[in-house]
Amino acid sequence: MTGGKEVLVCYDERVLAHEPDTNAAFLPGRLDKRVRQILSGLNVQWRYPEHPGRVSSILDLLVREPIEGVRIMGGRAASYQELSRVHTSAYLQDIYALRGKSAWLDMDTTAVSPGSVEAAEVAAGTAIAAVEAVFDGQADRAFAVVRPPGHHAEPVRARGFCLFNNVAIAAAHAQSALGCERVLILDWDAHHGNGTQDIFYADPDVLFFDIHRAAPFYPGSGSLEEVGAGLGEGTTVNVPVPAGTGDRVYLKILRELLAPAVANFKPDLILVSAGFDAHGYDLALNVSYEGFAAMTGILQALADEHCQGRLVMVLEGGYNLESLSHGVHSVLKVMAGGEVPEPAVCGLAEAEAAIAFHGPAFRATEGG
Ligand SMILES: [Zn+2]
């Protein structure tokens, strides 16, 4: 590929050790009882949807269909000091106390298995490593393939399969340790990044921009009126959209709202909470592979214009393994310098071909 760029995929297999199994023995308590009650009310056998196969599917596809310019780099665990930039010490002590145990953390079915605490430390640390690699000049762009995801985790609470807020921890590290003044976080996951919003709600130096399926969809926050508070008023931008929203709307929002916001804010780094549950296969919204790729193209252009190309993606949700792995793949192709597609309306080309194929038969009899 000519003009290709090197892209780092940051991955550490310790993230596979987070593996809540609802049949395992959990710490006894009221939450355990309540969650079991909820699960028994479901008509189907419930499996933990945020499982190790998610990241394996991404890595497996990269091996089967390698992308020139993509290099895989290891990760590391985040330290207490790095995590404490966005989480309280009381919360961190509570989580650390769960090492080696199984427990429910939230009624929304967030749980931990014996390896989860280390996996969460490694997820946060690998997001940091991706940012450091970009600031060190090892690559312009990086993608941290991590789990558990992070954007629902609040300063004092685990929620929505998230323990530590990986993208927020990476942003705080860029500011505290790498001399970065302003950070843009774009969250394109289908769900609102309530945790990231909370952490930076009063911070004028982090622009948090979130497109998500509107309430009452989980977690229910992220209305238009939530714009930040105090010094941070105006640096939280929420764009709630209805079920089924797809490529054309996402691209319009990026071009007509994100681009001027970024030009005004002038970030030193662009981070993306890259969730692939906005893809049609996850049944909440309707972004296509070309849509994710086109959004990546817009973000790269913004990064090139405003922050020396520094763009780091951090994996969030995405539960259909086919759309998750192919979605990440389509983003990495663009990050590696591949062509940026313009998403077509699904089926339009096929309809035009059918019209061209059958049409003459009917026109021949017209007026006959
Ligand atoms: Zn999500």
Fold of the CATH domain 7-363: Arginase; Chain A (3.40.800)
pLDDT at residue 14, rounded to an integer: 97
191 Cα: distance to centroid of ligand 1 (angstroms)? 4
Q: What percent of the chain has pLDDT over 70?
A: 97
Alpha helices in the chain (DSSP H): 30-40, 53-64, 80-83, 89-96, 116-135, 166-177, 194-200, 247-253, 259-265, 289-306, 321-335, 348-363
Kindly tell me if the per-residue pLDDT of 1 is higher than 50: no
103 Cα: distance to centroid of ligand 1 (angstroms)? 22
Point out the least confidently predicted range of 27-36, 96-105, 250-259.
27-36
Residues 263-285: tens digit of each pLDDT: 999 999 999 999 999 999 999 99
Kindly tell me if the per-residue pLDDT of 36 is higher than 90: no
Kindly tell me if the per-residue pLDDT of 2 is higher than 70: no
pTM given for the model: 0.94
Residue 78: pLDDT band with limits 50, 70, 90:
very high
Would you call 191 a catalytic residue per the annotation?
no
Question: What residues have CB less than 8 Å from 202, skipping those under 6 apart?
Answer: 228, 229, 230, 231, 232
Kindly tell me if the per-residue pLDDT of 3 is higher than 70: no
74 Cα: distance to centroid of ligand 1 (angstroms)? 25
Residue 287: pLDDT band with limits 50, 70, 90:
very high
pLDDT at residue 22, rounded to an integer: 80
Point out the least confidently predicted range of 186-190, 307-311, 341-345.
341-345
Say which of 51, 87, 152, 173 is annotated catalytic.
Answer: 152
Q: Which helix (H) or strand (E) holds 270?
A: strand 269-274
83 Cα: distance to centroid of ligand 1 (angstroms)? 22
Residue 70: pLDDT band with limits 50, 70, 90:
very high
Contact 312, 331 (CB under 8 A): no
295 Cα: distance to centroid of ligand 1 (angstroms)? 17
275 Cα: distance to centroid of ligand 1 (angstroms)? 6
Q: What is the mean pLDDT of residues 241-257?
A: 97
153 Cα: distance to centroid of ligand 1 (angstroms)? 12
CA distance 86 to 185: 15
Residue 40: pLDDT band with limits 50, 70, 90:
confident
Kindly tell me if the per-residue pLDDT of 335 is higher than 60: yes
Residues 160-218: tens digit of each pLDDT: 999 999 999 999 999 999 999 999 999 999 999 999 999 999 999 999 999 999 999 99
Residue 4: pLDDT band with limits 50, 70, 90:
low
Q: Which two tokens stand for residue 30?
A: 């009221």
Q: Which residues pair with 224 in a beta bridge?
A: none
Q: Which residues pair with 183 in a beta bridge?
A: 206, 269
For residue 219, say if its preceding peptide bond is cis, omega within 30 degrees of 0: yes
315 Cα: distance to centroid of ligand 1 (angstroms)? 10
362 Cα: distance to centroid of ligand 1 (angstroms)? 48
10 Cα: distance to centroid of ligand 1 (angstroms)? 20
152 Cα: distance to centroid of ligand 1 (angstroms)? 9
For residue 3, how many other CB atoms are within 10 A of its CB?
6
Q: What is the mean pLDDT of residues 324-334?
A: 98
pLDDT at residue 37, rounded to an integer: 85
pLDDT at residue 366, rounded to an integer: 60
Contact 295, 254 (CB under 8 A): yes
319 Cα: distance to centroid of ligand 1 (angstroms)? 9
CA distance 37 to 35: 5
Compute the mean pLDDT over every residue in the chain, rounded to the nearest whole number.
Answer: 94
pLDDT at residue 171, rounded to an integer: 98
pLDDT at residue 156, rounded to an integer: 97
Kindly tell me if the per-residue pLDDT of 150 is higher than 70: yes
Token pair 């916001």 in the structure block, residue: 261
Q: What is the mean pLDDT of residues 77-92?
A: 98
